[in-house]
Amino acid sequence: MSRIGKLPVPLTDKVELTISADNVITVKGEKGSNSLQIHPNISVEKNENEVVVTRNSEVKSDRALHGLYRALINNMVVGVTEGYTKKLEIIGVGFRAAMSGDVLELNLGYSHPIFFVPPQGISIEVDTKSSKNPILVISGVDKELVGQVSAKIRGFRKPEPYKGKGIRYVGEQIRRKAGKSAAK
């Protein structure tokens, strides 16, 4: 039995979970709502204050899906109660970020600014007060979408290994290389 899949997902009083007839789970909470289509070989049961995920057979693909769907349901419950955030730090001389309306404008050393419109359910804040480098705070209910948006923004200017300029996650360590002067 899957070690992760057999654990029940705890529900609080603030979370409302519904399971429809066509295997769609909808979770609603104070931060928002999220839904997920469940594979037909996986069954989900809701007890008073927990959700139990079971599988119908011992086929290898069903065993793999067992822990996956338990983790996805747990991520949905955590997302609607606490939410998910990722922080990106912009490092470089002249690199700037600003929110104009609901569009993120990035100046990253290119000849043109980059405009990014966040998808539905994602909020982006620019913090320029706490440190000398601008920090982007990306938050939302869906863990996958928050990670995908932060990776997309990081991809506009990945950190380079010589000076470390670019967009990186807060706390990320960049492997630095010695330049040409070290080769002498």
CATH architecture classification, 84-169:
Alpha-Beta Complex (3.90)
Spatial distance between the Cα atoms of 142 and 92, rounded to a whole number of angstroms? 30
Residue 4's pLDDT is: 83
User: What pLDDT, in 10s, does the model give residues 30-87?
Assistant: 999 999 999 999 999 998 889 999 988 888 988 889 999 999 999 999 999 999 999 9
Q: What is the mean pLDDT of the chain?
A: 91
Q: Which CATH architecture has domain 9-81?
A: Alpha-Beta Complex (3.90)
Two structure tokens written together for 142: 């869906």
The two tokens of residue 153 are 């923004």
Considering only CA atoms, give the Rg of the chain: 21
Count of CA atoms in the C-beta half-sphere (13 A) of 97: 27
CATH fold match for the domains 9-81 and 84-169: yes
Read off the pLDDT band of 3 (50, 70, 90): confident
| 62 close to 89: Cβ distance less than 8 angstroms | no
Report yes or no on whether pTM surpasses 0.85: yes
135 Cβ contact partners less than 8 Å away, ≥ 6 residues apart: 87, 88, 89, 90, 126, 127, 128, 170
The domain spans of the chain are: 9-81, 84-169
In 3D space, the residue among 114, 1, 9, 16 whose CA is nearest the CA of residue 53 turns out to be 9
87: helix, coil or strand?
A: strand
**Residue 184: band (very low, low, confident or very high) from pLDDT cuts 50, 70, 90:** low
Q: What is the pLDDT of residues 118-154, one digit of tens each?
A: 999 999 999 988 888 999 999 999 999 999 999 999 9
